[in-house]
Amino acid sequence: MKSRMIWAWLLGVGLLLAIFALWLLLLRMEVFAQWALVLLWISPAVAAFVASYLSPSHKIILGLSMAIPTAVFAAALNRVLQIQGLAVDFPGPSGGLILFIVVLVGAAVLSSLGGILGMGVSRGRH
What is the spatial distance between Cα 83 and Cα 43, in angstroms, rounded to a whole number?
24
Give the per-residue pLDDT at 1. Answer: 67
Give the per-residue pLDDT at 32. Answer: 80
Per-residue pLDDT reduced to its tens digit, 5-41: 999 999 999 999 999 999 889 888 888 888 888 999 9
Q: List Cβ neighbours of 6 (8 Å cut-off, separation of 6 or more).
A: none
How many CA atoms within 13 Å lie on the side-chain side of 93? 0
Strands in 19-122 per DSSP E: none
Per-residue pLDDT reduced to its tens digit, 44-87: 999 999 999 999 889 999 999 999 999 999 999 999 989 988 88
Strands in the chain per DSSP E: none
Q: Supply the pTM of this predicted model.
A: 0.90
What is the spatial distance between Cα 7 and Cα 53, in angstroms, rounded to a whole number?
12
